[in-house]
Chains A and B, each alone.
Chain A
């Protein structure tokens, strides 16, 4: 049988084969980002959220330099120069920023590097502007090769080969050179490396520079395939996370294997096109994100440390131990009541303050969202990077019930909360088995799945437009009515969280946070308590989402993206993790900032990033911590 006849009978087979080869090209790119991320994590124990930024900048630098010299020299010279520049930038970033946070708690490290991502993104906006920039095509490699009845670009074949080549080179460096042995030794026990007289700081700088250079190299290689734009830092970061986690943090071959796995799953989805399951048609090519994160979830459930990962030995310097929470004093209770009364009076202050209730409603929703996240982070010790999922499930649940199902306001709100609770129960059953960065990444992944399902499932969620025309019934249809209802819900939620934090449940959670092993030994069902905490946080986060849907009259995918998860984390951190009042202060501060200063500038990302860095470096206790310090000084102690 001729190939043509075969292809006519089985149209899917050549499509699959073609996509598989394409998948190897994508796998190389993924690997180049993930390899550096993985090595850096192995040695420094820092998950570098800004790693995608080196990839993006590498591409920008390459498209800027390549046209300066014509021909292959210009193209390949630009690629190498981009890698070199990113290596230098990586070293600079390590010395100025990372060096200060190696001993900080994990959460601060994640947020500080995320702040870097924001600042670098705005720096790129400043230097290169908002327009996409097209690079030149690779000289001599612009043709294509006929394969399986299709044409495969030569450049993609080269890319497919570069992954294994870099893997081999890295393997040789790691096994045959002193630098490589140092990396392997430090990945296992960096303290012992210092004991042998090796300058850790220098090693860390070198490792970070190496990782950044490889990412920059990967970005620069994209020059012939996609234009430089400001979205690729976050985009590639999500993919690289999945790859590193699936492969096992710190393992290079794991990273390559996982890159191939993920890229092939994506390629398969693309090749399948639109398929129908139980009468509902799914466009698989748009579901690649979900597929990728599903792979990650499955691997993490089966092998919590990834394909080639091992349990991460604890960093020998632990972050500071959390101070115990204290119940409110009489003055504290009194101020709480005064603040609530003041907030309740806001709508009645007259025209001069007409904007105040609008702003205050935003603050209330943010406060409930941040407080629910804090319950998980503070007493629970689990930093979720995907709290936007709860918010989204609550918001979409409410909006769907109110518009499509036509339920009344209160029932719709309850429906939304129930959806969020259910989602939390489901994810929680998996997530509470993990800790630290793995927990952070799984929650981030789940939030991406929710986001992408919402984005795809047009019949129910309205796709990219979202759901709108959401009008609450009386008495919530007036601005005042809705505001007072939101105030009541938020106050009730915050009081519930307080009550729980000081109940045996809360004490058990804190005991588990401080030492899971000791808590387990003294009969505390750690996993169960964490699961319940996850559900509590998810339920109240969902309530915040429901309020949001009613407050805006609509809900769109943008409102539940990764940005909301990060906002929540920043609020908690800004206010102070170690105090129950902290998230409320942080929510108020960040929301007011966003509604005023950040709205006025194109560079709000850099502002937010600067704010995060300021908190991490200068006020690790947040606003609440700072106030407590002042109060103690005032009391003359």
Chain B
């Protein structure tokens, strides 16, 4: 059981001819929440897309729960239990909340928390009341909740969360932190990209710092380490 949920070694990625990621390595252990922080344009989003197989990439090792996924198509990676919430959410605006969720539902899997209706709506009570609303008629915060819920109904073992707090009101961020903490408490492994240090500190066990497409040397920070925190 000690095999990591996500293991990346020597990851490179490209958009067309432009190389964006350089020899990136990181791991997420089972049940762990890991943050990827770095300035805009550092390559956080690209890292997540590379894991999902949405950009051209190459890696010495790219595995999910021990399974090599370096050459798999996106849908196969998803079926191995990876949920992905992109930074621009990308919910289906034409489809209702219920339809968005129905499309994403996948069978429960061993070793991952299962999200039936009850568990899901306990976490997102607002969504239960707007099942018939088209995604396009929801507020930004509601859309973010739907994007999270949509990823969860796939019953993933690993969740990739790209800047969940971006463009969300501070009060909703508070709420979101609680939501993500309870997801983690149920055993979900999470890789989260953030610029909001408070959110990282509240949720994550470890932090990787990324800059110009590569990990900053010494940029891995264990929680409660001696590295000086703000204040």
Interface size class of B (residues with CB under 8 A): 20 to 34
A192-B90 contact given A178-B103, A197-B154, CB 8 Å threshold = yes
Which of B74, B79, B94 lies in contact with A184, CB distance below 8 A? B94
Q: Is B92 an interface residue (CB 8 A)?
A: yes
B48: shortest Cβ distance to chain A, in Å?
A: 10
Interchain CA distance A69-B1 in the complex, whole Å = 66
Among residues of A, the one whose C-beta sits closest to the C-beta of B18 is A321
| CB-based contact A178/B102 at 8 Å | yes
Which of A195, A198, A200 lies in contact with B52, CB distance below 8 A? A195
Interchain CA distance A191-B53 in the complex, whole Å = 10
A197-B75 contact given A184-B94, A192-B92, A316-B54, CB 8 Å threshold = yes
Among residues of A, the one whose C-beta sits closest to the C-beta of B78 is A197
Interface string of B74-105 (1 = CB under 8 A from A): 11001100001010001011110001001110
Which of A188, A196, A200, A321 lies in contact with B17, CB distance below 8 A? A321
B138: shortest Cβ distance to chain A, in Å?
A: 15
Within 8 A of A (CB), among B34-66: 52, 54
Q: Is B73 an interface residue (CB 8 A)?
A: yes
| CB-based contact B95/A184 at 8 Å | yes
Instruction: Choose among A193, A197, A200 the residue with the greatest number of B CB atoms under 10 Å from its CB.
Output: A197
Interface string of B11-28 (1 = CB under 8 A from A): 000001100000000000
Q: Is B106 an interface residue (CB 8 A)?
A: yes
| CB-based contact A194/B103 at 8 Å | no
Interchain CA distance A582-B193 in the complex, whole Å = 46
> Across the interface, which residues of B come within 8 angstroms of A185, CB to CB?
92, 94-95, 103
> Across the interface, which residues of B come within 8 angstroms of A200, CB to CB?
73-75
Which of A181, A191, A199 lies in contact with B103, CB distance below 8 A? A181
Among residues of B, the one whose C-beta sits closest to the C-beta of A197 is B78
| CB-based contact A197/B79 at 8 Å | yes
Q: Is B206 an interface residue (CB 8 A)?
A: no
B76: shortest Cβ distance to chain A, in Å?
A: 8
Q: Is A182 an interface residue (CB 8 A)?
A: yes
Which of B16, B74, B86, B92 lies in contact with A194, CB distance below 8 A? B74
A188-B150 contact given A181-B99, A198-B75, CB 8 Å threshold = no
Q: Is A320 an interface residue (CB 8 A)?
A: yes
B41: shortest Cβ distance to chain A, in Å?
A: 16
Q: Is A189 an interface residue (CB 8 A)?
A: yes
Among residues of B, the one whose C-beta sits closest to the C-beta of A318 is B16
Interchain CA distance A318-B84 in the complex, whole Å = 21
Among residues of B, the one whose C-beta sits closest to the C-beta of A193 is B103
| CB-based contact B16/A195 at 8 Å | no
| CB-based contact B74/A191 at 8 Å | yes
| CB-based contact B102/A194 at 8 Å | no
| CB-based contact A321/B104 at 8 Å | no
A196-B16 contact given A185-B92, A188-B92, A189-B92, CB 8 Å threshold = no
A320-B16 contact given A181-B95, A181-B99, A189-B92, CB 8 Å threshold = yes
| CB-based contact B78/A184 at 8 Å | no
B229: shortest Cβ distance to chain A, in Å?
A: 35
B72: shortest Cβ distance to chain A, in Å?
A: 11
B209: shortest Cβ distance to chain A, in Å?
A: 26
> Across the interface, which residues of B come within 8 angstroms of A199, CB to CB?
75
A196-B150 contact given A181-B103, A316-B54, CB 8 Å threshold = yes
Chain A: interface secondary structure? Answer: helix
Interchain CA distance A193-B103 in the complex, whole Å = 8
| CB-based contact B104/A196 at 8 Å | yes
Interface string of B96-132 (1 = CB under 8 A from A): 0001001110100000000000000000000000000
| CB-based contact A191/B54 at 8 Å | yes
> Across the interface, which residues of A come within 8 angstroms of B102, CB to CB?
178, 181
| CB-based contact B16/A198 at 8 Å | no
Interface string of A151-193 (1 = CB under 8 A from B): 0000000000000000000000000001001101101110111
Interchain CA distance A199-B79 in the complex, whole Å = 10
| CB-based contact B93/A196 at 8 Å | no
Interface string of A189-220 (1 = CB under 8 A from B): 10111111111100000000000000000000
Within 8 A of B (CB), among A554-601: none
Within 8 A of B (CB), among A306-332: 316, 318, 320-321
Interchain CA distance A75-B171 in the complex, whole Å = 67
A554: shortest Cβ distance to chain B, in Å?
A: 49
> Across the interface, which residues of A come within 8 angstroms of B74, CB to CB?
191, 194-195, 200
> Across the interface, which residues of A come within 8 angstroms of B86, CB to CB?
192, 195
Interchain CA distance A199-B93 in the complex, whole Å = 21
Interchain CA distance A185-B99 in the complex, whole Å = 9
Among residues of A, the one whose C-beta sits closest to the C-beta of B93 is A188
> Across the interface, which residues of A come within 8 angstroms of B93, CB to CB?
188
Interchain CA distance A182-B100 in the complex, whole Å = 10
| CB-based contact A198/B92 at 8 Å | no
| CB-based contact B90/A321 at 8 Å | no
Interface string of A350-367 (1 = CB under 8 A from B): 000000000000000000
Among residues of B, the one whose C-beta sits closest to the C-beta of A187 is B94
| CB-based contact A194/B73 at 8 Å | yes
Instruction: Choose among A181, A192, A316, A318 the residue with the greatest number of B CB atoms under 10 Å from its CB.
Output: A192
> Across the interface, which residues of A come within 8 angstroms of B78, CB to CB?
194-197
Interchain CA distance A236-B84 in the complex, whole Å = 43
Interchain CA distance A188-B89 in the complex, whole Å = 13
> Across the interface, which residues of A come within 8 angstroms of B90, CB to CB?
189, 192
A195-B84 contact given A178-B103, A316-B54, A321-B16, CB 8 Å threshold = yes
| CB-based contact B17/A194 at 8 Å | no
Within 8 A of A (CB), among B109-165: 150, 154
> Across the interface, which residues of B come within 8 angstroms of A195, CB to CB?
52, 54, 74-75, 78, 84, 86
Among residues of A, the one whose C-beta sits closest to the C-beta of B79 is A197
Interchain CA distance A195-B150 in the complex, whole Å = 11
> Across the interface, which residues of A come within 8 angstroms of B75, CB to CB?
194-200
Within 8 A of A (CB), among B170-227: none
A184-B92 contact given A196-B103, A196-B154, CB 8 Å threshold = yes
> Across the interface, which residues of B come within 8 angstroms of A181, CB to CB?
95, 99, 102-103
Interchain CA distance A178-B86 in the complex, whole Å = 23
Interchain CA distance A235-B43 in the complex, whole Å = 50
> Across the interface, which residues of A come within 8 angstroms of B92, CB to CB?
184-185, 188-189, 192
B168: shortest Cβ distance to chain A, in Å?
A: 20
Among residues of B, the one whose C-beta sits closest to the C-beta of A323 is B17
Interchain CA distance A185-B106 in the complex, whole Å = 17
| CB-based contact A182/B54 at 8 Å | no
A200: shortest Cβ distance to chain B, in Å?
A: 6
Among residues of B, the one whose C-beta sits closest to the C-beta of A192 is B90
> Across the interface, which residues of A come within 8 angstroms of B84, CB to CB?
195
> Across the interface, which residues of A come within 8 angstroms of B106, CB to CB?
197
Interchain CA distance A320-B104 in the complex, whole Å = 31
Interchain CA distance A188-B75 in the complex, whole Å = 17
Instruction: Choose among B54, B90, B103, B106 the residue with the greatest number of A CB atoms under 10 Å from its CB.
Output: B103
| CB-based contact B103/A188 at 8 Å | no
Among residues of A, the one whose C-beta sits closest to the C-beta of B147 is A192
Among residues of B, the one whose C-beta sits closest to the C-beta of A319 is B16
Interchain CA distance A316-B15 in the complex, whole Å = 11
- With A181-B99, A188-B92 known, 5 other A-B pairs at CB within 8 A are A191-B54, A192-B92, A194-B73, A198-B75, A318-B16
A-B contacts, 8 listed (Cβ < 8 Å)? A188-B92, A193-B103, A194-B74, A196-B104, A196-B154, A197-B154, A198-B75, A200-B74
Q: Which residues of B contact A (CB under 8 A)?
A: 16-17, 52, 54, 73-75, 78-79, 84, 86, 90, 92-95, 99, 102-104, 106, 150, 154
Identify the 3 closest CB pairs spanning chains A and B, nearest first. A197-B78, A194-B74, A197-B79
